[in-house]
Each structure stands twice: as C-alpha cells, then as structure tokens.
Chains A and B, each alone.
Chain A
C-alpha cells in the first residue's frame, strides 16, 4: 500500500496546493460567519413564541384578545369540543355540577390505568388471580394502579347517575336534545356494563359470585333463557340459552373470564367511545349545553319560544 501511495502522489502536487488554498479561504469565512449566526440565534431564542417550532404547534398568539381566546379553543383538537364562546352562566358550577366532564375525565383515567393494567394481566383461569397478586405485590405502583382503576370505575358510575339526574332536573332533555338524552341513557347502560364486566376479572370470590348472581338472572330471560317464561318451550337449555352466550359456558369459568375481558377491554369501550363522540357532537349541534336558560313564564308556554333556544347558538 505504501509504495502505491508514493507513486500516485508524485504527480499531483499542484492539485494539493489548490485544495489547500480553498480550505484556507473557508476557514477565514468561518471565523466571521459563525459568530454572526450565533448572535442571531440567541436573539431569536429570546422570543420562543416566534420560533418555527413554536408557531408550527401553536398557530396563534396567546394574548388576551378575543380572537386568540377563540382560536385557543378552536384550533385545539381536544378543546374544540367546546364552542369558542358560551352562555355566560354556563360556567357556573352550581348549574352544571360538572358531572359530564368528570365522567369523561374518569373515562380517560380508566382508559389510561386500564391499559397499564392490561400489561400485567392474562385473562386465564390459572393466571388471572396470580396476576392480580403480582400487581399488588410486585409491580411498581401496581397496587395504586389497580386501586385507581377500581375506584375511578365506581366514581364514574356515580358521576354518570348524577349527570343524568342534573340533566333531568334542568329539563335539558327537552327539544331539541331528545336524541342526545337517549345516547346518554345508552352510555349509562354501557358504563354499568363496563363496570360489571370488570368485576369478574380478578377471578376472586367477590367477582365470581357477583357475576354468578348477575348472570343467573339471564337464565330467566323470557323466550331466550332456559328458566324464563316460554324458554323451555322454545327449546332453551342451560347449554344454548342467552346465559350460555354471555358466559361462553354453562358456568362462570375460563370462557366467561375471557369473554368479560374482551367485552371489558375492547367491545364496550369501542362502542362507548363511539357513543361518546356522538354525545359530545350532539351537545354542540343541539345548541351547546341547555342552560342556564332564561325562565319561561306560564303565559309563554304555548307560544313559540322567543329568541334563540339557547344563548350560544
């Protein structure tokens, strides 16, 4: 190798010199260019909101101009569930109780903790209980995770009820929100089902018997249950009735565990999410939240309602 190099280099001295010259020029330029650029950079960083990165994320300023306040909501994928402006009294907690929002927030918490729990859980008869023990004893924050999931689920049920209670008391289901009320009723049912399907998953006595008691009622489904009215007449037995379909067997066993796991983690959440999207969308489309509206006098009851139905529309 060394011999070769010598041989080649011999005739190329001129080229080398030319290269040398150019490099010297570049080095000179470097000395002046970089400090200038650095200065510019520092100047630019002084106002980070003007950087390209910043502006690409936040597409408007965050000063207190009405436009930007509105944009803050409208240009945010999460926040644009809300309108830009709402009825001034709708921010009052005493009216809304915030239960809808809390329910949604709990749903998010449950999704988050639930996904983490899924990392550690196998829906099999052998593993399930052990996994819960493992969660409790081994997984960092596992116990907290499980506790949060459990209690958030309970809280969510309560929050849903209170939400419905408030909606009824403020008459918010009335025209034009009839349909959204129905979506809400379905969401209530799915919330309960979510909670119920999760009950069995630790595979302990509590869940086992709660689910046994719960699904035993399905035996008595009219027409479709083997103990229900007309069920036997239709050929229903413990092995083909609706309960069998729910549990994947005639008793609460491995199949039931798997089924409730899948319903709990995939089936119901998807359906509920879809319904939730519809629910939120309809809230907007039906004119935002119903109130607090202006009180209506008896005399106005049978007349067409004066003015817009709600302040926000």
Chain B
C-alpha cells in the first residue's frame, strides 16, 4: 500500500473539491433519503386512512391549526440565507488561507504532462474517451447529456412527488437519475481523478503511479471476432448489432413499462415514450460498452468508413 502516493493524489489542491464532494454527496443523499422515507410512510398511512387524509396537513413536519401557513420572508427566510452566506464565506476564507490554488510551471507546449487531465468536472468525459471515440465522448455525449437533462420535465409524466421528497412514488425517475448522476457522472470523475494515472492507466488506490508501467492490451473490434473482414460487411454488421440493440432494447423497455408502470405508460404520449426509450437505451449502452471493453477488450462494434462506434 503506497500511502504516500494516495496522500499525494488526495491532497493535490485541485483534487480537494472532489474529495469534499464525496462526503457532501453522501450527506445529502442521506438527508434526502430520510425525508423521502418519512414522506413515504406518511403517504402509506394516509392511503390506508382516508379520513385522516382529509384532515391531515400532509407534511411530515408538525403543524397546529393556529400556526401561520405562510411566514414572512423577512426575517424567517432571510435570516437563514444570511447565515448560509456567512458560513460559506467562512468556509471559503479558511479554505483559501490554508490551501493555495495550484500554479505549476509556465505553459510549455513541448513538455506534455503525464497524465494530462482536464479539469476535474470534465474527467467523466475524459474517462469516456477510453471507451468511445472523441467525437462521441467529447461532443455527442455532452450534447446528449444536456438534451437529456432538458427533456426530463417533458417526459416525466408522473404527477406525484412534485415538491416533496419521495422514493416510492417515483422509483423509476429517481433510480434513473441516480444512475446517471452517481454512476455515470460522479464515479467516472472519481475514477478519472484517483484511479487514472500516467498514460491514463488504471491504478488502484494505493498503487504507485509508475510512469514506466506498460500494459499489454489488444483491443479487437466486434466484427473481427465474427470474422467479418470486408468494410461493407463490418458496416452492415455494426448497423445490425446497434440497430438490434435499440430494437430489442426498445421492446424490452416497452414490456417493462407496460408491466410495471402501466399508469405512467398510459400517461405518456408516443413521442414522450420513444424519447424516454431512446435516452434510457443510450444511458444503458454506456456501461455496456464499458463492459465490452473492460471484459472482452472490444473496441468498436460498428465500423464504417466515416465513424466508428
């Protein structure tokens, strides 16, 4: 166990935010889960007790009839906001006094940094470069992420869970989002920061970042495994596989929706459903492609003269 290496990575000034991000995320997930759990319990209680449902104020926090339903922003909200501002200021100042912003050697185009890393918040994308061509990882994927985030309100037809934490009422939405945010975004960043060493190679935490490490790896293309050699064959084969994935996956999504979320499905228009389907499949495709690469060293599935996937 190379503690020194570990310490060096963790204490690099620009990595500190990520180190801070992990406990912060854990804390907030816990906070959200706690409230969701309480709300779910309340819902369950109210579902079974319609009488109570009629009278209850429907929040988990205590309430008495005489209490104001609304409070003045001044001072009740603003005092919290000011307090938050003060605390943020304190944190920021202490952080700034104790830890210096990194400043390395003057830029030298002739001397490549190894590893050359993007800013930490883009490391997820950089990690994707391992599995995808740059045009996917660097251009298509960010675009899809932005579009995907933007369409969420329009494809989520579930009217429940608006304005309060819940899990049981929005299982699908929340698990999908957590999958996207925690697994595909944050953990990729963590991998990119702590695991990827010189040459963008995989170093387990505590492994020394050896600049000389060489790893033998032969990546194959899926068509090669099936012995397809002609360019046209490869293109058609890839098209079939990818098309097949989307066709079969689409069908699978449909059957799952129909079976497990009939209400949501019924609320969705065809467009809404097909967009949901598409994004879902693309999202799932990422770990699938990663697995193909990590387990079977498969580089491309679909090879065409213009692009490879």
A interface with B by C-beta (< 8 Å): 66, 69-70, 72-73, 79, 82-95, 97-98, 101-102, 105-106, 109, 129, 132-133, 136, 143-144, 146-152, 154-155, 157-158, 161-162, 164-166, 168-175, 177-178, 181-182, 185, 188-189, 192, 195-196, 199, 202-210, 212-214, 216-222, 225, 227-230, 233, 251-252, 290-299, 301-302, 305, 310-312
CB closest chain-A residue, reference B134? A220
Counted as pairs of residues, one from A and one from B, with CB atoms less than 8 Å apart, the total is: 308
Nearest Cβ on chain A to B87's Cβ, whole angstroms: 9
Cα–Cα, bound, A162→B140 (Å): 24
Q: A161-B181, A182-B150, A293-B163 are in contact. List 19 more A-B contacts (CB 8 A).
A: A69-B72, A86-B71, A86-B77, A92-B61, A97-B31, A102-B88, A147-B101, A151-B99, A168-B177, A175-B159, A181-B153, A195-B119, A204-B107, A205-B106, A209-B116, A209-B117, A216-B134, A217-B125, A217-B137
User: Does B73 belong to the interface (CB within 8 Å)?
Assistant: yes
Q: Which of B43, B70, B146, B156 contacts A295 (CB 8 A)?
A: B43
Nearest Cβ on chain A to B83's Cβ, whole angstroms: 9
Chain A interface helix/strand/loop/mixed: helix
Total chain B interface residues with beta-carbon distance under 8 A: 102
Chain B interface helix/strand/loop/mixed: helix
Mask for B72-89, Cβ within 8 A of A = 1, else 0? 111111101100110011
Cα–Cα, bound, A154→B161 (Å): 31
In the bound complex, residues from chain B placing their C-beta under 8 Å from that of A173 are 152-153, 156
Return the 8 tightest CB-CB contacts between A and B, nearest first.
A217-B138, A293-B163, A291-B163, A220-B134, A229-B307, A178-B153, A294-B58, A147-B96
Cα–Cα, bound, A228→B134 (Å): 8
Cα–Cα, bound, A202→B39 (Å): 49
Q: What are 8 A-B contacts with C-beta separation under 8 Å?
A: A155-B92, A168-B152, A220-B138, A227-B135, A228-B135, A294-B57, A294-B59, A301-B158
User: Does B166 belong to the interface (CB within 8 Å)?
Assistant: yes
In the bound complex, residues from chain B placing their C-beta under 8 Å from that of A293 are 162-164
Q: Which of A152, A172, A204, A295 contacts B106 (CB 8 A)?
A: A204
User: Does B290 belong to the interface (CB within 8 Å)?
Assistant: no
